[in-house]
Chains A and B, each alone.
Chain A
Amino acid sequence: MSAPEHSLPPGFGSLEPFVSAWALEGADNRLRARLASREADRVAFFEAAKDLLPRGLDYLDRKPLAEHSDQDKRLMRLLLGMAHVALAVEIQGDDEPRHAEGARHMTITRAPSDD
């Protein structure tokens, strides 16, 4: 299912193409998406999101998490996906495929972001 055209809050439209792949519910699903991804897709998302990350968090910080709209929630999940992808792109770089072999054996069973 493709995301609606304006699934994110105003000002973040350039991230729309990444919503369906990366704005996932559940920390373990976000980890799995990173580990199953192709390098080109990771880099494209990372490059598109890295400058918007501070602005996205500032925007979301204006409201308590409980008052977030569906659009806000989607942006939150997308930025949480960025936390995982940033580690792959920025820290692991071309070592990510080898690194992912070990990381596939880890399962995230709980995270505050799952609530």
Chain B
Amino acid sequence: MSMPSPQFLEPKSHDPAHLGTDPVPAGPYYREDYFALEREAIFKRSWLQVGHVCELPEPGTFVVRTIEAAGASILITRGRDGVIRAFHNVCTHRGTQLVAETGGKQSSFTCRYHAWTFGSDGALRGAPDLERFYIEAKDCGLIKIAIDQCAGLLFVNLDREPKQSLRAFLGPLAAELEMLPVAKATTFSEYVYEIDANWKLTYDNFQENYHLQFIHPRSGKAAGGPENPFGYPTRYGFHGPHRTQTIWTNPKPAIMPIQGFAFGKGLPFIAADGFAQAPHNRTYFALFPNFFLIGTPTQHFSHSVIPICASKSRGVIRLYWIGDDRIASQRFAREYAMATALDIHSEDRAVIEAGQRGLSSGALSHIHFQSQEVLCRHFFHSVDSAVQAYKAERAGSART
């Protein structure tokens, strides 16, 4: 064959991301003290993906999101003015968690303890016997959290004064994300799982193809072929703490009859939405710290790996769709696409947990990444440089 040799044809021990080739320490994948540093260095100060604007379609709608690694519950509202805002879900009287529901529609929120009532703009609207306090209502609004959106995706930053805007954080990837179907999405399918594994170990599983043929012998059949048995990507990209890969297109995927039929049923709708030949159809985005989004319009899924503690995480996968189901064929195609993605994701769980048991035993001082696991290596470097910077900052402020 005369095609140029993409990287995957000759995996060498070269160093595509200039990250070195050394083994990586195992401790960060299980140690409690390292996780404690990640909470401060990353989850309390990075932009974190928490939802999508389609969850707040009209004024008065709200959602509540828990970010365990920051110990925070976040209330996200769309106000009467149409503006989306985020607040700590904490009553400013004496700290009671304000909203117990996970979402809904209401224009005010009343604390169950002493009935302080807040508007969807966060202002304290009323408090019984307010005149007995030594403060004014205008100073008792809910505590604001920075929130911004890109491609309809909502991101919050728990830093009281974020060091960077969301746009600056995403850099050139922001414009690419805006070109994806998710930017026009109005609804989604969602499935979730919990896993006894560190968030980085879990996340890494979804950014290397080395395991595909072993863990997904059936569901992953179309991912590899004789010219690329591992289904390695054709290209990797590194963008600050974020990374991308370009998924290899198998020229002759093994497709089963109903599988092909279901895929074909979805295509006309993808084409009608204008995404049949979109530029990022083969791009898999990995946004720091814990978010994935795949450009593929037929199975346009995001995956958040949310840390709960050093060795426990929660996964949330969404397939974003434009418009409600129009007819039965589209409904069938969407259900099949979701069930396909779910099948693949569910096959990884057991082996990731086995990895955690091995690492948590402390037997290994280091783990190894080959050149086609370079995204995992880059991820570790991104996390560790945030942790080291935080440690240096803390040491600096202790000295002064």
A57 with B329, Cβ < 8 A, contacts A95-B218, A111-B334, A112-B187 known: yes
Query: Complex Cα distance A56/B262, Å?
Result: 13
Query: Complex Cα distance A82/B321, Å?
Result: 21
Q: Interface readout for B307-336 with A: 1 if CB under 8 Å, 0 if not?
A: 000000000000001001111110110111
Beta-carbon contact of A105 and B332 below 8 Å: no
Query: Complex Cα distance A53/B260, Å?
Result: 13
Q: Interface readout for A41-72 with B: 1 if CB under 8 Å, 0 if not?
A: 00000000010011011001100110000000
Quote the shortest CB–CB distance from A25 to chain B (angstroms): 13
Contact among B218, B259, B324, B346 with A112 in the assembled complex (CB-CB below 8 Å): B324
Point out the residues of chain B lying under 8 angstroms from A65, CB to CB: 325-328, 331
Quote the shortest CB–CB distance from A10 to chain B (angstroms): 17
Point out the residues of chain A lying under 8 angstroms from B332, CB to CB: 57, 79-80, 83
Contact among A53, A76, A108 with B331 in the assembled complex (CB-CB below 8 Å): A76
Q: In the complex, how many residue pairs between chain A and chain B have their CB atoms under 8 Å apart?
A: 126
Which of B311-365 touch A at CB < 8 Å? 321, 324-329, 331-332, 334-336, 338-340, 342-343, 345-350
Interface residues of B toward A: which range? 35 or more
Beta-carbon contact of A99 and B218 below 8 Å: yes
Query: Complex Cα distance A111/B338, Å?
Result: 9
Query: Complex Cα distance A111/B15, Å?
Result: 42
Query: Complex Cα distance A41/B264, Å?
Result: 27
Contact among A99, A109, A113 with B343 in the assembled complex (CB-CB below 8 Å): A99
Query: Complex Cα distance A102/B188, Å?
Result: 23
Beta-carbon contact of A93 and B218 below 8 Å: yes
Which of A67-89 touch B at CB < 8 Å? 76, 79-80, 82-84, 86-87
Q: Does A92 sit at the interface, judged by CB under 8 A?
A: yes
Point out the residues of chain B lying under 8 angstroms from A3, CB to CB: none
Point out the residues of chain B lying under 8 angstroms from A92, CB to CB: 218-219, 343
Query: Complex Cα distance A51/B334, Å?
Result: 20
Beta-carbon contact of A108 and B338 below 8 Å: yes
A: number of interface residues (CB 8 Å): 39
Point out the residues of chain A lying under 8 angstroms from B9, CB to CB: none
Query: Complex Cα distance A76/B192, Å?
Result: 25
Query: Complex Cα distance A79/B265, Å?
Result: 13
Contact among B221, B327, B342, B349 with A31 in the assembled complex (CB-CB below 8 Å): B342
Given A64-B327, A111-B335; 11 other pairs, CB 8 A cutoff: A27-B189, A27-B335, A50-B258, A54-B261, A61-B328, A87-B343, A90-B256, A107-B193, A112-B189, A112-B331, A113-B335
**Interface residue ranges, A against B (CB under 8 Å):** 27, 30-31, 50, 53-54, 56-57, 60-61, 64-65, 76, 79-80, 82-84, 86-87, 90-93, 95, 99, 101-103, 105-113, 115
In the assembled complex, 24 residue pairs joining A and B whose CB atoms fall closer than 8 Å, in A order, are A53-B261, A57-B328, A57-B332, A60-B327, A60-B329, A61-B328, A65-B325, A76-B331, A79-B328, A87-B219, A90-B257, A91-B219, A93-B218, A99-B218, A101-B350, A102-B349, A102-B350, A105-B346, A106-B191, A108-B189, A109-B190, A111-B190, A112-B321, A113-B331
